[in-house]
Every structure is written in structure tokens, then in C-alpha cells.
């Protein structure tokens, strides 16, 4: 009985030592990681306007947002925002993104706005819009 117990303890110690030895020899490297912060100024100090065009869609059924126009004669896109990359997201309940479109703003002030197209976004689900102009 003592011999079986001694053999069991010896086998357990051998297995534990082998697994521990393998784990200790496992190498790990890491890429660099950095963080920082900076003040971000808007390319435009005045407000921009977003207007929506919708189309009835029988498969939805209901209206879907087809175009969002950013800027207007009253709230024009200023020259400091010309030729910059943009992202426009339509958001729904809880701020969830329903759709996002990217592109580049016009290089001139004519027109003083830009249109963004969307496909299949149920207008009843849209609760907000997010616009980022960068560059």
C-alpha cells in the first residue's frame, strides 16, 4: 500500500514538474504601447446643418434615409473644412451606429455643402447623427 502511494506521489510530482517547467519556458514579447492627448480644434467655429432626404420603401415598409446634406446657405461649410476627410454616422437607440459613410468634403465653397448617401436605413430608427471632419 505504501509502495503504491509512493509511486502515485512520485508520478504526480513528475507531471507537475514537467508542466511547470514547460510553462516557465514559454516566451512572451510585447509590442510598444503609448498614449497621449491633445486639444483638437474644429475646422469650423460655426454650426453646420444636417438635412435629410427620405424615400418610401415598401420592403421596409416605411421611409428610408437616402441622403443627408451637411451645410446650407445659412450654415455653410467654411474654407478651413474644404478637401478634408469626413465620416457621417446615423445613430439609433442607445447611440448604436445604424450606418456610416465616408468621403472627402468639396475643395471649394460651391456648393457650400456636401451630400452623403445612405441605403436602407429605416428613418424611424434614426435618433441622431455624428459627423467627423478630419485632416
Domain boundaries, the chain: 50-134
Are 43 and 80 in contact, with CB atoms under 8 Å apart?
Answer: yes
What single-letter DSSP state applies at residue 33? -
Give the model confidence (pLDDT) of 113-133 as tens digits. Answer: 889 999 989 999 999 999 998
**Could you tell me the pTM of the whole model?**
0.67
Place of cell 502511494: 5
Give the model confidence (pLDDT) of 9-45 as tens digits. Answer: 555 545 444 444 444 566 677 776 767 666 677 888 8
The string of DSSP codes covering 102-124 is EEE--SSSSSSSEEEEEEEEEGG
**Torsion over CA of 108, 51, 53 and 117, rounded to 10 degrees?**
50
Amino acid at each position: 500500500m505504501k509502495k503504491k502511494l509512493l509511486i502515485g506521489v512520485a508520478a504526480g510530482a513528475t507531471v507537475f514538474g514537467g508542466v511547470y517547467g514547460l510553462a516557465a519556458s514559454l516566451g512572451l514579447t510585447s509590442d510598444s504601447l503609448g498614449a497621449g492627448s491633445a486639444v483638437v480644434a474644429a475646422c469650423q467655429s460655426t454650426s453646420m446643418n444636417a438635412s435629410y432626404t427620405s424615400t418610401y420603401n415598401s420592403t421596409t415598409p416605411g421611409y428610408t434615409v437616402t441622403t443627408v446634406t451637411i451645410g446650407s446657405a445659412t450654415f455653410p461649410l467654411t474654407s478651413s473644412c474644404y478637401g478634408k476627410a469626413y465620416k457621417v454616422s446615423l445613430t439609433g437607440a442607445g447611440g448604436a451606429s445604424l450606418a456610416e459613410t465616408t468621403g472627402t468634403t468639396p475643395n471649394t465653397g460651391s456648393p457650400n455643402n456636401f451630400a452623403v448617401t445612405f441605403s436602407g436605413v429605416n428613418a424611424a430608427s434614426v435618433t441622431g447623427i455624428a459627423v467627423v471632419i478630419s485632416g
